Amino acid sequence: MRFTARVLLVASLFATCAAIAQDTVAPPPALLLENVPAIPAELAQKLKAYNDFRPHGLFSWHPARREMLVSRRLTGTTQVHRVADPGATPEPLTDFQDAVNDALYPPAGGDYFIFVRGQGGNEVFRYFRYDVATKAITARKTPSVPFNVMSDALRSAGTPPSATPTRSMPAA
């Protein structure tokens, strides 16, 4: 009887230790920790929202409504998102393999916006028109331009020029 009670006590201690070990966060194997208390899994779960964030950048304000276009990483690249109201969750509008580098509403209207992206990492940037109502994307018939020239043209004029000269970059 005494032996059975001791076996049950030892078994319950092992079960308790296993349960405690499961309710803590294991440190990475590359860290050598001494005198650091275990982190409860519940605390780690509460803090997860503060560790998983995505930075945003302002692309453009809507000319008539209180909304904006922002840059935000979607899967692996920066894409255009619309924030319809203050504090609203950004709504993804583009989802390309390559990043969208700039986006801008025209000075009046706001039923479309122009955005710029390269393709395949070639750094040849093209203009695209995104129709807000239909979500249709149309490539503009504008020659490819260096990003800094194109971005400055978008910001100063509000719409892309019909033709912009390109300059070859010197070989490195």
Residue 4: the pLDDT is 54
CA 1 to chain CA centroid, nearest Å = 63
pTM of the model: 0.59
**What is the longest distance spanned by two Cα atoms in the chain?**
95
Q: Looking at domain 55-157, does it have CATH number 3.40.47.10?
A: no
CATH 2.120.10.30 domain residues, the chain: 55-157
d(CA 144, CA 33): 54
Q: What is the DSSP letter of 58?
A: E
d(CA 102, CA 10): 65
Collapsing DSSP to helix, strand or coil, 20 comes out as helix
Name the strand (E) or helix (H) holding 113: strand 112-117
Per-residue pLDDT of the chain in tens (172 residues, 90 and over written 9): 555 545 444 455 444 444 454 688 888 888 888 898 888 999 888 888 777 677 889 999 999 999 999 999 877 889 999 999 988 999 999 999 889 989 999 888 889 999 988 887 777 788 899 999 999 999 887 655 555 555 555 555 544 444 443 444 344 3
